Amino acid sequence: MRIDFDPETMAGNSFYKLLTSVVVPRPIAWVSTVSADGTANLAPHSFFTVASVAPPIVQFTSVGRKDSLRNAEDTGEFVVSLAPEGLFEQVNATGTDFPHGVSEFEAVGVAQEPSARVKPPRVAGSPVALECVVHGTAGFGNSTVVFGRVVHAAIDDAVMVDGHAEISRLRPLSRLGKDEWGTVGEVREIARIRYADWEGERPAEA
């Protein structure tokens, strides 16, 4: 038995709440930007993913017109820092609706460091920074998707093992429904099966 939901008939933001509680876990882009007058801005965005491989493009979505969107449009640049477990409370606090002109780096006390290729600073305490140039935007009703071509990636060598960023060292936070957040749980490994090696046996259900 399933319960059916029709977004067209649901009041207010109740379908949004349902959607964000079932599209889980979501990685959190800690997006830094700089305003046209030079104020640095930092805000978490969990509507975030890889949009394209070649060229390497990532995307985040602004629900409404927020400072991160405005700055990315005005200056054409943003940086995505990975939101690490060790900075849980800081990540959350940068989601506070500070007025335009207030830097969340300053207000929350998040250490910054200069980026290599773009103006917005990186989060010094994050192991991963993806420096991006805005590739375009797409609007859908109240939301705007911002696409950014990654022009530089800076990764802490302490998380790299044999040229691979190790999940147990990255310790990314994720966003769940309600006010719930996730940390990395059990990690399982399984090799992808090529059709040439397919032996016709269906995997058993756990």
CA distance 150 to 131: 6
DSSP 8-class letter at 177: S
Query: Can you tell me whether residue 16 is helix, strand or coil?
Result: helix
Nearer to ligand FMN, 56 or 182 (CB): 182
CA–CA separation, 44 vs 68, rounded Å? 9
Identify which of residues 41 and 115 has a Cβ nearer to ligand FMN in the complex: 41
Q: Show contacts of 193-201: CB within 8 Å, 24+ apart.
A: none
CA 154 to chain centre: 16
β-sheet bridge partners, residue 17: none
Q: Where are the alpha helices (DSSP H) in 87-144?
A: 88-93, 104
Give the separation between CA 85 and CA 183, rounded to whole angstroms: 7
Select from 25, 27, 28, 72 the one that contacts ligand FMN (CB under 6 A).
28
Site string for ligand FMN, 109-148 (x = CB under 6 A): ----------------------------------------
Of 43, 80, 146, 170, the residue at the interface with ligand FMN (CB under 6 A) is: 43
| 66 counts as binding ligand FMN under rule CB under 6 A | yes
**Could you tell me which of 173, 189, 188 has the C-alpha nearest to residue 45?**
173
Out of 35, 92, 149, 171, the only residue in the binding site for ligand FMN (CB under 6 A) is 92
Q: Which is nearer to ligand FMN, 76 or 160 (CB)?
A: 76
* Cβ distance to ligand FMN smaller for residue 92 or 137: 92
Please identify, using beta-carbon distances, which residue of 94 and 115 lies nearer to ligand FMN: 94
Does position 177 bind ligand FMN by CB under 6 A?
no
**Interface positions with ligand FMN (CB under 6 A):** 28, 41, 43-47, 61-63, 66-68, 92, 95-97, 175
